[in-house]
Each structure stands twice: as structure tokens, then as C-alpha cells.
């Protein structure tokens, strides 16, 4: 299995995990020149931008640990573009990280615009 295939499989696993918790998929792999957002999910008036990280070896930290400030900035800028170009309006939004290793670690509100 290639790294890209493993990544897509991890994204599907994260999507299923969140759907089981009442979220609906709005978009997958939304890309713009500033970056890509793995999953965009919603639940009621909440829109969630989800970064999925796959970690086969936890010796170097969790997948969430690899979402650096520059990566967060790319996700935030891409999310801003998404919000500007969609006609949908949500009351609130947040940035989550789903880290997949031996288990699924979901971190709601993993980072913010601040």
C-alpha cells in the first residue's frame, strides 16, 4: 500500500468515526492554492474542518503533534477561502484533528485562529 493509499484509508476511517458521532460530510479533500482540508463535516450549525493524521509509529509523537503552526496556518487560510466561496452559513466552526494510530484520537478544537 502506498503512502497516499494509506492516507486515503485513514481519511475514510476518520470520516466514518465522525459520522458515527452524528456528523455529516460536507466535503472531502477540499483544495485551494494555500493547502488542502482532509474533511469538512457539519453537525447542526457547527462546521468542522478536520485534519487527519496517520501515525504507524508513536515513537515520534502522535499524528496531532505533527500539525505544526505552518500547517495550521495553511488549513486556516484554506478554510477562510472555503467559507468565502460557499453560500452556506454556519453559526460556528472549529478545527479538529483526528490522529489514527493503534487507536483513533479525536481532538475537537485542536487549534484556533488565534
Instruction: Specify the CATH number for the domain of residue 60.
Output: 3.40.1350.10
Element (H, E) at 74: helix 69-85
Please provide residue 86's backbone torsions phi and psi, each rounded to the nearest 5 degrees: -100, 150
Please provide residue 83's backbone torsions phi and psi, each rounded to the nearest 5 degrees: -65, -35
Question: Is there a contact between 54 and 13 (Cβ–Cβ < 8 Å)?
Answer: no
- Of the candidates 104, 83, 111, 109, the one whose C-alpha atom is nearest the C-alpha of residue 27 is 83
Domain that holds residue 50: 3-111
pLDDT digits (tens, 9 = 90+) for 29-46: 999 998 999 999 999 999
Asked which of 23-27, 60-64, 105-109, 110-114 is least confident by mean pLDDT, the reply is: 60-64
* Model pTM score: 0.92
Q: What is the number of domains present in the chain?
A: 1
Amino acid at each position: 500500500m502506498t503512502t497516499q493509499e494509506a492516507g486515503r484509508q485513514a481519511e475514510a476511517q476518520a470520516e466514518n468515526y465522525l459520522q458515527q458521532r452524528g456528523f455529516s460530510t460536507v466535503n472531502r479533500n477540499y483544495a485551494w492554492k494555500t493547502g488542502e482540508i482532509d474533511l469538512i463535516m457539519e453537525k447542526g450549525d457547527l462546521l468542522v474542518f478536520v485534519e487527519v493524521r496517520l501515525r504507524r509509529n508513536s515513537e515520534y509523537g502522535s499524528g496531532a503533534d505533527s500539525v505544526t503552526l505552518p500547517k495550521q496556518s495553511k488549513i486556516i487560510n484554506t478554510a477562510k477561502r472555503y467559507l468565502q466561496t460557499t453560500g452556506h452559513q454556519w453559526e460556528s466552526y472549529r478545527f479538529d484533528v483526528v490522529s489514527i494510530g493503534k487507536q483513533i484520537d479525536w481532538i475537537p478544537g485542536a487549534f484556533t485562529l488565534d
